[in-house]
């Protein structure tokens, strides 16, 4: 067997483009679906990073006092105001759904169709619960507190714009994930991944690896929420 000679590779930037463009080393053995999901998540990371950096910049530069999250997002329970109660429950539900998603992937690779499907459903219900609580949070701030994208009664006007932009964009990701979780749960219970049945929108066959790819997306959504929770609700 001939030994690989690294001296024959192109130098500098041409060598970098050669390694990645040839698809022989960077993505060798990686399924195309998983590689494309990682590339999508990388691009999404840039978008969320821009949102959070813009939030920190606006908060640091505004001369108007920034609203206190404990005051804005508090709930009154039995006559007592509990700060960030709803946000804490939302975070717990979403992080728990990440655990059920990981278990679903495990049972998927074990071809345990029943348990894989039920844990996918549990993950979808967790995501749906999160979206429902976020809808309640939005309705409370809009109709009860009078928060708008162009202003709010709690302080700096930028607060409303950033709140609806950041949480709305993340909530859209969760909603899309919930839809696919229900679709994949149905496919698992029907045995599509065991028989290699072709998808509805594509003629390509699929297997349980698709659940892992969906899991990558769901874990990413959960991870992004941790940063939103830290920079928006706790800071």
Which DSSP string do the residues of 160-191 spell out, in sequence order?
HHHHHHHHHHHHHHHHHHHHHHHHHHHHHHHT
Between CA 140 and CA 73 the distance in angstroms is 9
Rounded (5°) CA angle 27-29-32: 65
Cβ-count burial of 114 within 10 angstroms (0-12 exposed, 13-18 middle, 19+ buried)? Answer: exposed
* Nearest alpha carbon to residue 94 among 128, 69, 119, 118: 128
Task: Specify the CATH class of 26-234 in words.
Answer: mainly alpha
Flag whether pLDDT at 51 surpasses 60.
Answer: yes
**Would you kindly state where each structural domain of the chain is located, as residue ranges?**
26-234
**Percent of the chain's residues with pLDDT above 90:** 51
Flag whether pLDDT at 1 surpasses 50.
Answer: no
Inter-CA distances, 15 with 12, 19, 28, 35, Å:
5, 6, 17, 21
> Quick one: the chain helix, strand, coil %, rounded to 5?
70, 5, 25
Inter-CA distances, 87 with 72, 133, 140, 230, Å:
11, 9, 13, 11
Flag whether pLDDT at 3 surpasses 60.
Answer: no
- Mean pLDDT of all residues in the chain? 86
pLDDT at 154 (0 to 100): 85
Residues constituting the chain: 235
Between CA 151 and CA 229 the distance in angstroms is 21
The 10 Å CB-count burial string (b at 16+, else e) for 164-191 is bebbeebbebbeebbebbbebbebbeee
Flag whether pLDDT at 2 surpasses 50.
Answer: no
pLDDT at 204 (0 to 100): 64
């Amino acid at each position: 067997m001939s030994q690989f000679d690294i001296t024959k590779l192109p130098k500098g930037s041409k060598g970098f483009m050669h390694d990645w463009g040839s698809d022989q080393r960077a993505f060798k053995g990686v399924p195309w679906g998983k590689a494309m999901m990682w590339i999508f998540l990388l691009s999404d990371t840039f978008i969320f990073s821009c949102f959070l950096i813009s939030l920190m910049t606006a908060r640091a530069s505004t001369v108007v006092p920034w609203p206190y999250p404990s005051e804005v997002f508090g709930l009154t329970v039995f006559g007592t105001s509990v700060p960030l109660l709803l946000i804490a429950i939302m975070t717990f539900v979403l992080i728990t759904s990440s655990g059920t998603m990981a278990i679903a992937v495990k049972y998927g690779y074990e071809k345990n169709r029943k348990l894989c499907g039920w844990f996918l459903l549990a993950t979808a219900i967790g995501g749906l619960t999160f979206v429902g609580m976020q809808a309640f949070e939005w309705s409370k701030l809009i109709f009860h507190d009078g928060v708008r994208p162009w202003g709010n009664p709690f302080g700096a006007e930028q607060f409303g714009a950033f709140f609806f932009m950041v949480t709305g964009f993340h909530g859209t990701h969760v909603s899309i994930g919930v839809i696919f979780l229900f679709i994949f749960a149905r496919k698992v219970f029907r045995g599509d991944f065991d028989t290699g049945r072709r998808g509805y929108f594509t003629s390509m066959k699929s297997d349980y690896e698709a659940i892992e790819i969906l899991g990558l997306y769901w874990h990413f959504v959960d991870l992004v929420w941790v940063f939103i929770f830290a920079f928006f609700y706790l800071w």
